[in-house]
Amino acid sequence: MNEDRAVYEALLKAQAEGNSVALATVISTQGSTPRHVGSKMLVCADGSIVGTVGGGAMESRVIQEALASLSDGQARMPSYTLNSLQDGDPGVCGGTVQIFIEPINIAPTLLVIGGGHVGKALVELGKWMGYRVILSDDRAEYCNAEYAPGLDGYVVCKPAEVPQQTRITAQTYIAAVTRGMPVDVNLIPALLATDAPYIGLIGSRRRWTLTIQALKTERGLTDIQLARIHSPIGLELQAETPQEIAISIMAEITMIRRGGDGRPMRLMDEVTTVEN
């Protein structure tokens, strides 16, 4: 099979399966180099590759850069001089090569734990917003394609077992809309062991205060660890209905994901006017 075709087919397969990959492309060369401009290599999250940009120490460095790009979502454009292995160069061809490394991440995942009224409204809104949406509940009747159609996954298990049953990455935003504190005390430690950038927990301030106390005394969690939890979940909208609460939660997730601060846009306009 043609090498470029193999790379592209592997890329399409990764997207279909919901896996993030990084595409490394040789964009410029000077002097003697192992591969020509346009040569491509696909790097998977486990470090496996399809294609090559030259092999050897240089390729190993490119793989590490690609894995870093998958972690932070940032493209990279490293250059390598292939002169002397003794001087730390990744090769001895004598030329230089520049490679563009592009992370190709799938849509961010919204993981909703709890399929009650709020959970159902939340998965519907998340899907409308373009997220990959996974619903989990320990009650099969609240976690299936008939109850909440069109989702990307349904995980029927105890809440604390969710991290073992579905892949949670730095692109997974978790909304735990659970039924009470006993569930949360088992669930939160499991979620904190993941790389999720957002972990939100539904409930009142009193419920969260009591949960904090239990997590500290029973599970030994620290304030620094618990600071990762957004509870009460969502932005303050005085939301009441499940749909309004879902909007509040997705607004907070969007704010975290995009780096916003939640201020009204009219106040942003006033600041801009003053600064200009």
CATH among 3.40.50.1980, 1.25.40.340, 3.40.50.720, 2.60.260.20 for 109-258: 3.40.50.720
What pLDDT is attached to residue 244? 98
Residue 129's Cβ-count burial label (10 Å; 0-12, 13-18, 19+) is middle
pLDDT one digit per residue (tens) for the chain, 276 residues: 588 899 999 999 888 777 889 999 999 998 888 889 999 999 998 999 999 998 888 899 999 999 999 888 889 999 988 775 555 545 656 688 999 999 987 788 999 999 999 999 999 999 999 999 999 999 999 999 999 999 999 999 999 999 999 989 888 999 999 998 999 999 999 999 999 999 999 999 999 999 999 999 999 999 999 999 999 999 999 999 999 999 999 999 999 999 999 999 888 765 444 454
Q: Please name which of 9, 3, 22 lies closest in space to residue 77, comparing C-alpha atoms.
A: 22
The pLDDT assigned to 21 comes to 94
Distance CA 156, CA 166 (A): 11
10, 50 Cβ separation under 8 angstroms: yes
- How many other β-carbons are positioned within 10 Å of the β-carbon of residue 115? 25
- What is the per-residue pLDDT for 87? 52
Domain(s) of CATH 3.40.50.720: residues in the chain: 109-258
Tokens 């005085």 sit on residue:
238
* pTM of the shown model: 0.73
What type of residue is 257?
A: R
